[in-house]
Amino acid sequence: MRGFKNSRFCVLVIIFLLHFGVWCNGDTENMGAPMEQNEINALYSTIQGFVGKSWNGSDLYPDPCGWTPIQGVSCDLFDGFWYVTDINIGPIHDNSLSCTPNAEFNLNLFTLKHLKSLLFFNCFVSPRHHPTSIPSEGWELLASTLESLEFRSNPGLIGQIPSTFGRLRKLQSLVLIENGLSGEMPPNLGSLVNLRRLVLAGNKLNGEIPETFGGFTQLLICDLSRNSLSGVLPKALFGGLVSLLKLDLSSNNLQGKIPQEISKLKNLTLLDLSNNKLSNGLTKSLQEMTCLEELVLSKNPMGGFLEILDWHNMRKLTTLDLSNMNLTGGIPKSIADLKKLRFLGLNDNKLMGDIPKNLENLPYASAIYLYGNNLTGELQFSEWFYSKMGRRFGAWGNENLCYPIGLVSTSNVPYGVKQCQQELNIVMDLDTKSKLVNGSLLNSQSSMGYLNDYGIWRSYVVELFMVILLLLN
């Protein structure tokens, strides 16, 4: 840190001396670092477009790449002249430039010869009062320089993503998140072969995912979530995205079966396809995705069986959310082999059968949700498990599930699950019946020391009923 500060200080001193030297020569016209007037004017008018006419760059920042730097603007030297490389507008830092309600794209933007990165945040805020669309022409002028384009949180930025973005062949990061963009994603974006990050989440994009997107062989992050994309997942996508680490297509209208080819995304660590219309059961090849840490497929009418996958292969999973998927069948024991699991969501399905006791042995589990199924039998977990998990063990809403009497003290009972003893009372074993015959109602109660008030009341009613039955006999 200290070294960094010192070197910065040296640079400042050198810059100061340079300027001082120029000033001493009395050459006040060239007081700033060498920068073409065109470049300076283009910078001023670009920023003025975003922040408003009252912003007077030449007044406030006569030497924008030198001794009067503009917050959010970076420069670099090319052939002995200063050029603007980065422009960041919006409330990113305390003293950042903020946009005016009437912000607009000034086309002089495209004459900045070495612009590498353009970001604006919270700039076009009102789709009602000042809807603005992205200029469709001009971007090709930035084709040989622009590496990063980010428009964040601009609900007033409407219309389509211009297909001319497909000409920005150096682009590594295209982030258009939480804007008001609509229409289809232009297929020719697929020619951005250097893209590492594609984030178009939180817009109103519709149509299908273009097959050309399979051409992003360098892509690491793909987030198209929270749009209105439809159609099936194109197989071509999975053959091409060989480097992908994160794929988030959640909250769209995608349908059909997850293609087998998905397992070609060998390095994927996050797959989120939740809240779509995917169906036809889980795809078996998912089990080959051994790098997955987060698998979220919840809220799809998927159907089919949880058991068709060999879960124990996916040992890196920390999050497994398969809730609300219309899954049926049992809970496979192999889920408990996922030792890194922190979150397990299997709630709101139609799962049946027993809950595997070995789920208790998941060392890092902080939430296990099994509620809203048709699970049956006696819960086999220890009291320690219930007290550790509290309500983050959710098994309520399973009609025929119970926890055994005697195992659990009333403070640590699984929430919303009934006690097995009540069922036994209804079945009424011979032993209890004979006690009743002998009129020892009180004795049979005190033997159920752990019953809560409701349980005692229930057993009273049941036993009285049995007495009446026996008397009638």
Ligand X SMILES: *[C@@H]1O[C@H](CO)[C@@H](O)[C@H](O)[C@H]1NC(C)=O
Give the count of residues interacting with ligand X (CB under 6 A): 16
Comparing C-alpha atoms, which of 149, 123, 107 is closest to residue 52?
123
Q: Which residue has the tokens 């994009």?
A: 205
Which of these, 227, 47, 181, lies nearest to 120 by C-alpha position? 47
Look up residue 430 and give its amino acid.
Answer: L
Helices and strands: H and E segment counts in the chain:
9, 25
Least distance between ligand X and beta carbon 390 (Å): 27
Look up residue 226 and give its amino acid: R
Task: Give the SS3 label for residue 333.
Answer: helix
Instruction: Specify the residue, 253 or 438, whose C-beta has the smaller distance to ligand X.
Output: 438
Query: Could you give the string, one character per residue 363-392, with x where binding to ligand X holds by CB under 6 A and - elsewhere?
Result: -----------x-x----------------
Nearer to ligand X by Cβ, of 38 and 56: the residue is: 56
The reply on whether position 153 binds ligand X by CB under 6 A is: no
Hey, how many other C-beta atoms are within 10 angstroms of the C-beta on 403? 22
Place of tokens 């005016």: 100
Tokens of 153: 């949180």
Number of Cβ within 10 Å of residue 408's Cβ equals 21
Please identify which residue in 183, 303, 332, 377 interacts with ligand X, judged by CB under 6 A.
303
Shortest Å distance, C-beta 438 to ligand X: 4
Closest CB 426 distance from ligand X, rounded Å: 18
Least distance (Å) between residue 186 CB and ligand X: 26
Give residue for tokens 């060392």: 363
From 254, 289, 297, select the one nearest 272 (Cα to Cα).
Answer: 297
Site string for ligand X, 242-281 (x = CB under 6 A): xx-----------------------x--------------
150: its two tokens: 């980010």
Contact between 438 and ligand X per CB under 6 A: yes
Our measurement of the distance from residue 75's CA atom to the centroid of its chain's CA atoms, rounded to an integer in Å, reads 34
Assess 144 for contact with ligand X (CB under 6 A).
Answer: no
Beta strand 73-78 with 81-89 is: antiparallel
Interacting residues with ligand X between 341 and 360 (CB under 6 A): 350, 352
Minimum Å gap between C-beta 55 and ligand X is: 8
Q: Is 328 in the site for ligand X (CB under 6 A)?
A: yes
Looking at the DSSP bridge assignments, the partners of residue 221 are 197, 246
Smallest gap, in angstroms, from Cβ of residue 352 to ligand X? 5
Choose one: 17-25, 55-63, 174-182, 406-414; the region binding ligand X (CB under 6 A). Answer: 55-63
What is the contact surface with ligand X in residues (CB under 6 A)?
A: 56, 58-59, 242-243, 267, 301, 303, 326, 328, 350, 352, 374, 376, 434, 438
